[in-house]
Structure 1
């Protein structure tokens, strides 16, 4: 990154921080209760550029038979959702890159499938909270470079990486994370030839293109001014997070299987990085992860960037195998 770009980034951070004031946000968020928050410093919250709903979430997505899909490349990443009582569903990252949230219902379970490109965080949540079903949109705000979602029912703000309300009526409330995972399209369809895949949304977007070309090999994350990870780990290195433990992806790709801390994590090649090449399907191979417990059941987890894990779990454990 050139000196000019670094200076420009510093100026942008300063300008955004100067606008971190609820009094300036209330015209856009008149129903949000800013008196309730777990955010210690409002300057942690920055504009990502687009306004509220400038990145449109998808509601009630359409699906087609996976066997009929011809647009998705073999190595393209999808989020696999497999819930008993319904056909397995694939949510392609080529769509989530541009929409970040899909509100859906699978086998009677209302879910939010989420993807934050700036943190590489792909998490699926149960939308049932305190006896009501919430629907989520994209606020346009970031904290530690991670998407802040909002729910349309209470206008509360939620931190995507941790699945927790951080501003408003739902402050401090935690969403239940479901055991879903990212894998290649080939992996999904090989396991689920009778599965379903999300249909292309009816928006004017260049689906399949990566607007964050080269992002996951940068030295510094976008709109992040927090600490770098410890142990010399690159900020944009991928880690597998299970609870407050993080395993470097490099360790998994070398060992292929690691069993510790009550889980077995396996890695296999074949999945393209969504944040590398200009076309998602042509990204370098970062492989796919599955996490299972001692009884062979899938475990909720995330494959995120190291800087984001350190930002949200500063006391977390780094599983380095040393």
Structure 2
């Protein structure tokens, strides 16, 4: 619960932090970051989430075991599935990503970063290669519109996790390439890949399998967010399936599990627990799993994020509400 309490404590300091939300305020903590190069117009949007730089420890060189050897993970627990050419399928459980938020790995010769921002329910996987160099991503401890700001250890630039773009530093304006990975339940992964690989439990003292954000996705308002709420009466913490600048409400997919429109096919099926509901992740309510494919049946990059985050980062985005 320490992570959760730190975030709650940060709420109390929002006013004082906002007053000092100026690039130079962060310079003492980030002496090697070029704050003169940035796409941020309103520095009041950037707040401390509580933990300092690397206070939430990103992982590198994760270890893996066979799915048949894994006994800790409950069947409904969510995992990020990575299936890449020339590599065995891998599952990255949210029971670990909830506490570490970033995993730097290499799959099929491709350096990737598997990321999860609990406050936005945003689980995105990126290619870590940018402008001829391979980046190693860490957790800055800063938030913007409640979304994690990552940083790279090579240039100390800041990256907005939800959009995969550098917003402060030498690499400002550079975008990471999003990869076609998806969230599904542990049972769903191992049914397809009974001998696939799953990330082993990290060697940290954390309450893995516990949700430090209990009942968060039932809240009326997100933490550390003061922006506009979504249109069309969509609740702020309702899940939406984002593909580029379009968002399909998950509730619509529940009612119509197969939707083909805008050149895409979205499929929903039950069986995945919310990682942000009950104290024990595997006991969370069923939010289901989404798969997004193009007309040729190829998986596409997408995100299942909270509605407020989509509206914050894509204010002119298209809401696919159906008829």
Q: TM-score, normalised by structure 1?
A: 0.96
Q: Give the 3-state SS of the residue equivalent to 1:285 in structure 2.
A: coil
What's the counterpart of residue 239 of structure 1? 240
What's the counterpart of residue 289 of structure 1? 290
CA contact (8 A) 2:67 2:195 kept: yes
Correspondence 1:1-322 to 2 at 5 A: 12-322=13-323
Task: Give the aligned CA root-mean-square deviation in angstroms.
Answer: 1.0
The Cα of 1:24 is off from its aligned counterpart by: 2.0
Number of residue equivalences: 315
CA 1:65–1:10: 2 relative to 1, 3 Å = closer
CA contact (8 A) 2:78 2:185 kept: yes
CA shift digits 1:283-313 (9 cap, x unpaired)? 0000000000000000000000000000000
What's the counterpart of residue 6 of structure 2? none
Q: Give the 3-state SS of the residue equivalent to 1:61 in structure 2.
A: coil
Q: Give the 3-state SS of the residue equivalent to 1:251 in structure 2.
A: helix
The Cα of 1:19 is off from its aligned counterpart by: 2.8
The Cα of 1:75 is off from its aligned counterpart by: 0.1
Distance 1:285 1:180 in 2: 20
The Cα of 1:66 is off from its aligned counterpart by: 0.8
CA shift digits 1:41-60 (9 cap, x unpaired)? 11110000000000000000
The Cα of 1:14 is off from its aligned counterpart by: 1.3
CA contact (8 A) 1:87 1:194 kept: no
The Cα of 1:10 is off from its aligned counterpart by: 7.4
Q: TM-score, normalised by structure 2?
A: 0.96
Q: Give the 3-state SS of the residue equivalent to 2:124 in structure 1.
A: strand
CA contact (8 A) 2:11 2:223 kept: no
Distance 1:232 1:17 in 2: 29
CA contact (8 A) 2:38 2:169 kept: yes
CA shift digits 1:207-230 (9 cap, x unpaired)? 000000000000000000000000
Of stretches 16-25 and 80-89 in structure 1, the one that deviates more from structure 2 is 16-25
Q: Give the 3-state SS of the residue equivalent to 1:97 in structure 2.
A: helix
CA shift digits 1:241-278 (9 cap, x unpaired)? 00000000000011000000110000000000000000
CA 1:10–1:273: 2 relative to 1, 3 Å = closer
Q: Which runs of 5+ in 1 are unaligned?
A: 1-7
Q: Give the 3-state SS of the residue equivalent to 2:13 in structure 1.
A: helix
Q: Which runs of 5+ in 2 are unaligned?
A: 1-8
Q: Give the 3-state SS of the residue equivalent to 1:78 in structure 2.
A: strand
The Cα of 1:25 is off from its aligned counterpart by: 1.2
What's the counterpart of residue 3 of structure 2? none
